[in-house]
Chains A and B, each alone.
Chain A
Amino acid sequence: MMVRAMEKYLRPGIQETPFCPGCGHGILMGSVLRAVDESGLDMKKMLFVSGIGCAAWIPSPHFNGDTLHTLHGRALAFATGAKLFSPDLCVVVISGDGDLSSIGGNHLIHAARRGIDLKVICANNMIYGMTGGQVASTTPKDVITSTTPGGNPYRPFDLCRLVKAAGATYVARYAVTQPVALIRSIKKAFFHVGFSFIEVISPCPTQFGKRNRLERPEEVIRDLIERAILEEEAKGLTQEELREKIITGEFVP
């Protein structure tokens, strides 16, 4: 039997992850647990709150702490209630882009505004994966989805700029292809007092990829490695070159 490095943080009885081949959520799941491990946090004092969608399954039921799998879009509101009443809990919200920024967008800006000590990890696959690949508020322009067969006519949210403007005090973006930086960032969020937001670019070959010529898991990962660049690397690039890139790094503070 394979020995899993982060086994002790998994709920007993958990076998495999429910994610599709090539999905980035498994890497993100491992990164969160490694950050917990390296931070020396006690899972018994951690509450993981999630909404509805693939990413909401990252903590629930897998993580062996308290988990609260809520309504679609409302993870932050549930988390706000739990954190305000039990300030000693380390409350981590892990959910998807559609959940946190579309149906739950209002809760996102208000939670950031209040500055309550919540650690929000947004798994952004730029699509509604669980429901069959519909366009999201984070889907790039012109991308083909099941509800934009002629290409997405609208521009996506820049979630980091959105929460920064709303008052988040720790904001970062990394791709699952940058696991070392991602784990470091999650650890920072754990120790940051205030509203932290980490946008994690996590590919969805099943729903996003199959319509946009990125179907094979290795192609998706290779594509993301090429596109996810640090702010410093972006400096020398032309507008044209930047169009395809995803700028990663820490934006606040």
Chain B
Amino acid sequence: MPSKWIKVPFKSGMHYLSGNEACAEGAIAAGCRFYAGYPITPSSEIMERMAVRLPHVGGVFVQMEDEIASLSAVIGASWAGAQAMTATSGPGFSLMQEAIGYAAFTETPCVVVDVQRAGPCTGQATRVGSGDIMQAKWGSHGDYQVIALSPWSVQEMYDLTVRAFSLSERFRAPALIMADEAVGHLRENMFASARVEIWNRKKEKGGSPFGTEEEFGIPPMPSFGEGERLLVTGSTHDAFGFRKTDDPEIHAKLTSRINGKILKNRDRMVETEDYFLEDCEFALIAYGFTARTGLYVVRQLRKEGVKVGMLRLKTLWPFPEKPVSDVGKKVKKLIVPEMNQGQIAGEVKKYSCSDVIPIGQTNGEVIRPEKIFEVLKRFAGPPIVKRKTKVRSNPHPGSHEVE
């Protein structure tokens, strides 16, 4: 089933919203009609807005007893035909991991929003972090793939939520929105269009819901109650869902397909944005709220003549290997600022041949420009030194943040 344009049940035009509110609206715009969740800071506003909005559009809202139950209910509703979502933060995301594996293995479309806070453990519930990036990929046991997106603005909390539903439905895989507290609680203007383009799971009467002719295909997905007498199981299963718990060939084929269908379609999922990359000698690779700081730094340094650019990752998983490796080929150094101890920097190292400098920060605060300036000036040469003098002798708005 190709994509289609659907009417958005939200006034089109500009809205002044928080990231979390925009995320809820994006879900409803994309056709989400089931939400199950459990309160947790800093994501609760998503659930609160869904509780108010879903009844208006004929959807179902339920607050569950914990995050395990929340994602379980979402998966149950997805098989009943719903586009379904839950949102949480670190500790809740940890509890959801087993069910994320279930969704990946049973190829259940569902959207999970993680508004990341400063971990590990209970950490700092109201403070920002982005330490769940690797957990998003590796959190559940066994080999599987997820789709994970990283919004940097209120607009993207809306747009990427719409996109997460499309990707999840199209590729029958869990789609995660790896937001952070700063983006979730940020308030700014965003634009809602009258219609959005979405993909839905394909249906095929009598089709095999768990297997395809093609090695890495996406099977059709019927819903409960359609007379298809579905067999859904988290055990290894054949194309029609029969448990096959000791057949090596079937297990190998299934795990290979659920991984391959994501990795082979990487180009359809990966989105990045380039800033000043054409002639740069140094490049930042950033995502989420940190990319805002990154762009500020890049713009400031460009004014000084420093050849620095930025690659912003909108998709984190599957990893944007090609854009990262392309940038790596043309710069002297890649700088990766992030609110963790180098989780994406490690991936960047894997796929680029240039020197990678991680700037990890785990103090519960957003990365400030100074921190990136400081690292850059260590090897960016004379232009930055020159700039330092300039800032001291002639301060102007914005530059006070530098030293």
Contacts and interface: CB of A to CB of B under 8 A. Distances in A.
Interface in B51-106: 60, 62, 64-66, 68-70, 72-82, 84, 98-99, 102
B319 interface: no
A81 B76 CA distance: 5
Contact of A49 (B76, B81, B102, B227): B76
Interface string A37-50: 00000011101010
B241 A61 contact: yes
B225 A66 contact: yes
B402 interface: no
B65 A106 contact: yes
A4 to B, nearest CB: 18
Given A81-B75, A81-B76, A84-B62, A68 B232 contact: yes
B242 interface: yes
Interface string A145-186: 000000000000000000000000000000000000000000
Contacts, number: 126
B263 to A, nearest CB: 25
B14 interface: no
B66 A80 contact: no
Interface band, chain A: 20 to 34
Nearest to A79: B76
Contacts of B170: none
A11 B76 contact: no
Contacts of A65: 229
A71 B65 contact: no
Contacts of A86: 80-81, 223-225
Given A77-B76, A78-B75, A82-B77, A69 B229 contact: no
A89 interface: yes
Interface string B197-218: 0000000000000000000000
Contact of A110 (B69, B74, B75): B69
Contacts of A84: 34, 60, 62, 73, 77
Interface in A17-72: 43-45, 47, 49, 60-61, 64-71
B33 interface: yes
Interface string B221-239: 0011101111111110000
Contacts of B81: 85-86
A119 interface: no
Interface in A72-131: 74, 77-86, 88-89, 106-107, 110
A31 B65 CA distance: 32
Contact of A85 (B33, B66, B98, B231): B33
B162 to A, nearest CB: 20
A52 B84 CA distance: 24
Contact of B231 (A11, A77, A78, A82): A11
Nearest to A52: B234
B230 to A, nearest CB: 5
A83 B243 CA distance: 24
Contacts of A49: 76
Contacts of A89: 80, 224-225
B36 interface: yes
A44 B225 contact: yes
Nearest to B234: A71
Nearest to A11: B229
A119 B55 CA distance: 26
Contacts of B228: 66
Contacts of B233: 60-61, 67, 69
Contacts of B34: 81, 84-85
A247 to B, nearest CB: 29
Contact of A61 (B36, B77, B99, B231): B231
Interface of A: 11, 13, 43-45, 47, 49, 60-61, 64-71, 74, 77-86, 88-89, 106-107, 110
Interface of B: 33-34, 36, 60, 62, 64-66, 68-70, 72-82, 84, 98-99, 102, 223-225, 227-235, 241-243
Nearest 10 CB-CB pairings of A with B: A81-B76, A81-B73, A77-B72, A78-B76, A77-B69, A81-B77, A69-B233, A82-B76, A86-B80, A85-B77
Given A65-B229, A80-B62, A85-B77, 15 more contacts: A64-B229, A66-B229, A68-B79, A69-B234, A69-B235, A71-B72, A77-B64, A77-B72, A78-B72, A78-B73, A82-B224, A83-B76, A85-B33, A85-B80, A88-B225
19 contacts: A13-B242, A45-B225, A47-B224, A61-B233, A64-B229, A66-B224, A66-B232, A67-B230, A68-B232, A70-B75, A71-B99, A80-B36, A80-B62, A81-B72, A81-B73, A84-B60, A85-B84, A86-B80, A86-B225
